[in-house]
Structures are given as structure tokens and as C-alpha cells.
Copies of this chain bind each other. A is one copy, B any other.
């Protein structure tokens, strides 16, 4: 117990090779009752986010998932299943499985149906928080398709002119395959910034721009200290982001038969024996159904090349496509170990404790940076 306490309180950064981090997450999910296959799937979702540098949606989330798996709110042996379907659509019941498993299951169906029908929609109910939405879009792009993935969430974002949250940040992601370039990948919350960014400013005592949150009077404030108790997030671009959040709520919730708005439980805060009942939706489009895939990929490549060639603003070294820096980070993670900041490292240690794993077992045998064994494996 003493050792555990110490591990939890320990807040130093942590250096870990990406494959070891992936193994650690897999082992933790197995300790929570998942099969090795499911544990690998879920671990890939989280580890990919850390490799991308999207550390808010990687291993940092593991303790929260672990707690709900042990509590039963997320069912370790849940079986997502198709409730009804047609050639171009399906409705899926997630059976309160881990959101990542439901997401991968549903996007696989969307991809298969789009390959026949050109476009497909798969709506999901009884799912859970599914980490980074972009992962599922990328599943489609890796198969040569356009993928769109969205989910609803418990409300934290106001309607323009309101003083209380009415919709979730409702992530919207899409990915687009290219040929000579990595895919285009956009993954965004429909608030101006994610709540985590406001919380970070609060911790650091910094003021924030006046379009991030509103206070209890519904008026803009730069005081991050009000969030989350006495403030709510503002939709990106005002009515534009709010309108998109409603479209996501429709695709992921209204159309799928999932819970909506306050019917969706907070994956962080509701008791761990409660399912969160998130909804999600996955749309895939297969360009090869409309014409030669290569011709489409060449058009994507040409668009990327054209935008790369645009003259940069004063002080900017280059123009990047959505997702480009994330793929660069992922390549670097093949050569160099990941450095997890203290907030992430703390959650890794906490997850190790919960799962009865020795984190030291995963930190050993780090290849020296730039050593032969690195990039090629």
C-alpha cells in the first residue's frame, strides 16, 4: 500500500518506448478482464494517440476505462452486435463494451458496406467513451476509403445565447487517403478548445481568450478558474460549431437510438457501475466504387502538393495539412522513446497499480536514441 501510494503521488515525467507503452496498455486491459485480442485493439487506439502526440486522448485515459471495466459500467465481455442492417447501413448495439471496441467493430462494418454501396452509415447505441475519434476515420483511410467518425457526449457546451451547457463537445473526425502523402486527418471537438485546455490554464493560473468559456451569466470570461464548476464551453465559431454539434448529436444519437444530451453519462464522473450510453456514428465512402481509386488518390496528392506550395505567413516555416504533424510524431516514435509529461506519467503509474503491473518492467531495454534497432522495426 505504501509503495502504491508513492507510485500514485510520483509525478515525474516518464520515458517509454512506444511498443512497450502499447504492451503495457494491452496488459492493463487484460488485467481488467478483456480478451487479449480486445485488449490489443483498445491498446492500439490509445497508444496511437500518444504516438501522434495527442496525449489528452492516449494512455492518460487508461485509469478511467479501467475503473469502469472493473465496476461493470463498461462490460469486459460485452459483444457489440448488429441490430438491423441494409446494404448501405447498420445499427449497432455496443452492449456497453468499451467505446474503442465498439468503434472499431462499427467502422469495419461501414468500410465493408461502402466497398459495395459507395457510401454507408453505421449508427451505434449503448457504447462508451471512445477516446480519439480520428482513430476510426483512419481505419477507413488505411483501407483506401474516406472515413467520418463522430460521437455525442454529456453536455459541456452552450448554445449561443445560453448560460448552461446543452450539448457535448461532440467530436467530429474525418480521414482521407492519399498516395504519396500520409492521409489527411482532422479530429476536433466542436467547442473552441477542449475542456482540458481550459483546465490546464486554470492549473497554471493563466487568463484565457474570451471565446473559450462563458460564466454562469452566459457572458464571456477570461477567468479559467471558473471552469468547470461555474462556466461552460463555447462552440467553435459560435452558431457554426453549435450547428455542427447538433448534426453530430443527430447522427450519433437521434438516428442511432442512443442516449442524447444529459442522457449520456460522464465517463469520468458517474459511478463506475453505470454504463455511459454514448452514441456514435461512422460514415465511409469508397472512391473506388465511383471510378479508379488511383485517379482519386492522385487528385488528393495534387491538392496536398498545391497547399504545401502556398506561400507561408511571416514567421511560419511551412504549411501543414491536418494530421501531418501527428504522422511525423508517429514516425519519430519509431526511432525515439516517448516522453510522457508528468500528468500522463502519473496516470500510467496509477493504471499500473490498478492492474497490478510493475511499470518498471516496461521501462527497461530502451534502445539508445538513434541506435540501429530503432527505425527499421
Contact = CB atoms under 8 A, between A and B. Distances in A.
Interface in A311-345: 311-314, 316, 318-322
B88 A118 contact: yes
Contact of A312 (B89, B162, B186): B162
Given A118-B86, A119-B120, A161-B320, A166 B300 contact: no
A54 interface: no
A290 B322 CA distance: 33
Which interface class (under 10, 10 to 19, 20 to 34, 35 or more) fits A?
A: 35 or more
A55 interface: no
A300 B247 CA distance: 11
Contact of A299 (B158, B260, B296): B260
Interface in A261-306: 261, 283, 285, 287, 289-291, 296, 299-300, 303, 306
A84 B247 contact: no
Determine how many copies of this chain the complex contains: 2
Interface in A146-178: 146, 158-164, 166-167, 174, 176
A257 B291 contact: yes
A20 to B, nearest CB: 31
Given A89-B117, A240-B188, A166 B255 contact: no
Nearest to A220: B313
Interface of A: 84, 86-89, 91, 117-121, 123, 146, 158-164, 166-167, 174, 176, 184, 186, 188, 192, 214, 217-219, 236-237, 239-244, 246-247, 249-251, 254-255, 257, 260-261, 283, 285, 287, 289-291, 296, 299-300, 303, 306-307, 310-314, 316, 318-322
